[in-house]
Structure 1
Amino acid sequence: MDAHPDPSAPAKPSPDPLAVIRSRGYLRILLLAGLIGVPVSIAAYGFLALVDWLQEYLFTELPGVLGFADVPLWWPFPLLALSGLLVGLCIQRLPGTSGHPPSEGFKAGGFPQPRELPGVVLAALATLALGAVLGPEAPLIALGGGLGALAIRLIKKDSPPSAVAVVASAGSFAAVSTLLGSPLLGAFLLMEASGLAGAMLGVGLLPGLLASGIGSLVFVGLDSWTGLGTFSLALPDLPSFSTPTAAMFLWALGIGFACPLLAWGIRALARIVRPYVHAHRLLVTPVLGLAIAGLAVLFAQVTGENTGEVLFSGQSALPSLINDGASWPLGAVGLLILCKALAYGLSLSAFRGGPVFPAMFVGAALGIAASHLPGMALVPAVGVGIGAMCVSMLRLPLTSVLLATVLLSSDAYAVMPLVIVAVVVAHVITGRLPEPPGRRLSGALPSASPSTV
């Protein structure tokens, strides 16, 4: 068979986006995506509420229940070891791989099969609730996509794969609708990560945007009903900032150069450790949990701060870090960056969760350290640090700019030029750095759905 196409053959016509939008089938999918957004958002809200309750109970209340007057300094050690054991058991014993390995980078698009959903949820709970340094966004994307695909298959068993994919994507949009502070931010993250582009962008994106908007309303309604919170990232009470200066642009260039180097080290640590995890998962993953706990205890012992600054994704600790961290000694901020980065790399190698929030936290800590530089202020330094660190870890430049600026609320307009400079520099440097050492194990991992997030 000739491998070269016949140049005289007529080109296959591409679908007309307007014709697709006008079709009855698309309107049915749009309606279904909006309806599915409600139960998926409720499930996502319940998952986040459970994670929040477990973190509070296990790390704050349980020591008192067991008779301790205060939380012992060594308390994270058994919890992180248990986290490693539970995550290892989920990955080895349950169908699929309990979600996408985060050391392979952030990925979106696709969905796990129904039988893989328990592994995704349980491994994520063991990771997030017991202190490993990963975020909830990847498990929520997988959960939303899997529930959306399951719903449309239950409603209509013979649904075409394209319809299943669109509704599953809408489920993912709904699940992360308010996690990053805005439905648009979550939608943009999924859009850029999945590579949606071209004339059909609006066709594929519209159901997801609808589900995301409905999901955001559901989150707000559940917050009003339960009083548990929206579990949405927000940075309140930031100092006012109005005008960037030439010195700030120069420091933005420097931060844009520095963040890719730190991100390369984090990824290299994950890649170096991962083969040992793969070979002896049930032994190595609890040991990594103990190492993460040791980093948190070391930081707390040296600085007098809480171990929670190093543990967890950093989503809850980020606002207080930005508000209080500027008053910390510079050495304490530097130790936090070191311990959080090491714990982040170890978590990427073996646990299950997303890379977004730890990258934001490390970037914000770098920004706090940079705010001590002459001519640099806290708000632009934090914005530049978050943007440059996110693009260095995620390789999503547009999303990284939005993450760093939208969260700064009223200061966003003034900070955006600095963030753009840092993100562009960091993205270019990241692309020119060599691949971190360590053998890629994508083909050696246990089989799973190719679209598992």
Structure 2
Amino acid sequence: MTQPSTASPASPGIRTLLLMSVPALLIGIGSAVVLRALDLVSEQLMHFLWDYLPGLFGASESTPWWIFLVLTLTGAAVGAIVWLIPGHGGPDSATTELGGTPPKLMAVPTILAVSILGLAGGVSLGPENPTIAVNSALAVAVFGRLSTKIPPALLVMLAVSGTIGALFGTPVAAALVFTGMVGAMAMPGSLWDKLFLPLAAAGAGAVTMLLLGGETISFTLAPLGDYEWIFLLQGFAVAAVSAILGVLAAFVFPYLHRAFHALRNPLVFTTLGGMILGVLGIIGGPITLFKGLEQTAELLEHPDDYTPQQLALFTAVKVVALLIAASAGFRGGRIFPAVFVGTAFGLLGYALIPDMPISLAVACGVLGITLAATRDGWIAIFVGVALCGDVTVIPLLCLIILPVWLIVTKAPELVVHPKEPEKAAAAA
């Protein structure tokens, strides 16, 4: 009787990997260029809206009526594009995760338009989801036509890798994300055979972004110092509460999304969302606006300048702003605002828990809510370490994340899953 073969599928040859590296590197570079261009255009518009224009009316970026006006008009502009312009701003970011089916090429201009408006107008969403959508659509359109031998799914993966590498300024983040995915890939070979092309795209994206002067997510805080057993308990307390905050946000998310979209017309519900964001911006101040990366740096630069009450307010306002922005039809990602929330909450833990190291507090605050938002332990650990700039927290985070994972693993996800009829209507 012939025994079934247990041999592993043959790994791709060196020649195949080298040939495929060409589109991988080009997609990585292109992904970074798109992201950097998006950043530069939105930054110029942001400076116009918040630095130059308010001065003409005797206001400033922190003037309450100006905050309300800009966010309301931003909501109206985004809603009008989603409602009236072909392409309609691409897929609803509330219903998408990193990757997935790329949008049609005709949607790319409107995705870029609504993303720029949201980033410049102070909306609490990041650039990751729209940028990945644009880069995926461009990669499939360009390289899919040049060669029918490259599967569209691989092109999407390379676009995601390149964009993640550019977003975080390092290919390590993309490698960690895809380590959890490559086991299900049909591509034969070892783990590093499967990671070879995504890592090439991510590395090209990261290096290109840094050469173009892009932002990084890395900061430096006071190091942890000598280990103490109490650090495990302190870190778990901060990470667990931060994760629970993310779980509660995920529970509310679909209800808010349904309530806004029950108004039917994007011009109506996105303008309403902009008005609510304006009120939240008045309550929390300018530091709670925008995607959150520069504001995170502001918190970490002078962490002792904020009272526990202020940090609690920043945390609460940013969570609500993230939910409103994502539910009301704005396009953008949830990772960067979640990082701000985790940082503010981590600093709150640092202020309230005696003798807790600031690096551990920030890392655990970010780890908890990032884990709840992404369901990816690797990226949660990576972002936590990058934020505090202290590699000595890694062993602690690797232990702390285990019980925190049990909190989030069966909880709702921070993404809306439309019902099948709604999916069909959207596709039509």
Instruction: Provide the TM-score with structure 2 as the length reference.
Output: 0.88
Measure, in 2, the Cα distance between the counterparts of 1:390 and 1:61.
35
Shift of 1:120: 2.0
> What residue identity is the alignment partner of 2:279?
G
Aligned to 1:289: 274
Measure, in 2, the Cα distance between the counterparts of 1:190 and 1:438.
22
Measure, in 2, the Cα distance between the counterparts of 1:439 and 1:34.
33
Match of 1:264 among 247, 256, 278: 247
Mapped pair 1:408 → 2:388: yes
Aligned to 2:327: 349
Aligned to 1:322: 300
Q: Deviation digits for residues 254-280 of structure 1, max 9, x if unmatched? A: 223312321122223321121132232
Mapped pair 1:39 → 2:30: yes
Note closer, same or farther for the CA distance 1:169–1:375 as it changes in structure 2 (3 Å cut): same
Measure, in 2, the Cα distance between the counterparts of 1:195 and 1:68.
58
Measure, in 2, the Cα distance between the counterparts of 1:127 and 1:12.
53
Measure, in 2, the Cα distance between the counterparts of 1:241 and 1:220.
28
Shift of 1:253: 2.0
Gaps spanning 5+ residues in structure 2: where? none
Note closer, same or farther for the CA distance 1:124–1:251 as it changes in structure 2 (3 Å cut): same
Mapped pair 1:58 → 2:68: no
Aligned to 1:375: 355
Q: Deviation digits for residues 198-238 of structure 1, max 9, x if unmatched? A: 85554443222112222233223333xxxxxx2222214x2
Asked if the contact 1:166–1:207 (Cα under 8 Å) also holds between the matched residues in 2, the reply is no
Shift of 1:176: 3.2
Measure, in 2, the Cα distance between the counterparts of 1:247 and 1:442.
49
Note closer, same or farther for the CA distance 1:257–1:216 as it changes in structure 2 (3 Å cut): closer
Asked if the contact 1:178–1:231 (Cα under 8 Å) also holds between the matched residues in 2, the reply is no
Note closer, same or farther for the CA distance 1:105–1:69 as it changes in structure 2 (3 Å cut): closer
Measure, in 2, the Cα distance between the counterparts of 1:202 and 1:232.
26
Mapped pair 1:206 → 2:206: no
Mapped pair 1:234 → 2:231: no
Shift of 1:10: 7.1
> What residue identity is the alignment partner of 1:239?
A
Aligned to 2:102: 111
Aligned to 2:208: 218
Gaps spanning 5+ residues in structure 1: where? 1-7, 224-229, 301-306
Q: Deviation digits for residues 154-188 of structure 1, max 9, x if unmatched? A: 423xx14x533323322332233232132211343
Measure, in 2, the Cα distance between the counterparts of 1:349 and 1:398.
27
Shift of 1:288: 1.4
Mapped pair 1:421 → 2:380: no
Range with greater deviation from structure 2 (94-103 or 115-124): 94-103
Shift of 1:440: 4.4
2:13 aligned counterpart, secondary structure: helix
> What residue identity is the alignment partner of 2:284?
F
Aligned to 1:135: 126
Aligned to 1:390: 370
Asked if the contact 2:50–2:60 (Cα under 8 Å) also holds between the matched residues in 1, the reply is no
Shift of 1:311: 0.9
2:333 aligned counterpart, secondary structure: coil
Note closer, same or farther for the CA distance 1:256–1:360 as it changes in structure 2 (3 Å cut): same
Mapped pair 1:337 → 2:305: no
> What residue identity is the alignment partner of 2:177?
L
1:241 aligned counterpart, secondary structure: coil
Measure, in 1, the Cα distance between the counterparts of 2:246 and 2:94.
12
Measure, in 2, the Cα distance between the counterparts of 1:122 and 1:275.
24
Mapped pair 1:253 → 2:236: yes
Note closer, same or farther for the CA distance 1:204–1:140 as it changes in structure 2 (3 Å cut): farther
Asked if the contact 2:140–2:156 (Cα under 8 Å) also holds between the matched residues in 1, the reply is yes
Paired-residue identity, %: 23
Note closer, same or farther for the CA distance 1:417–1:89 as it changes in structure 2 (3 Å cut): same
Match of 1:21 among 13, 18, 21: 13
Match of 1:273 among 249, 252, 256: 256
How many pairs were matched up? 419
Shift of 1:335: 0.9
Range with greater deviation from structure 2 (169-178 or 196-205): 196-205
Asked if the contact 1:384–1:418 (Cα under 8 Å) also holds between the matched residues in 2, the reply is no
Instruction: Provide the TM-score with structure 1 as the length reference.
Output: 0.83
Note closer, same or farther for the CA distance 1:94–1:190 as it changes in structure 2 (3 Å cut): farther
Mapped pair 1:87 → 2:72: no
> What residue identity is the alignment partner of 1:43?
V
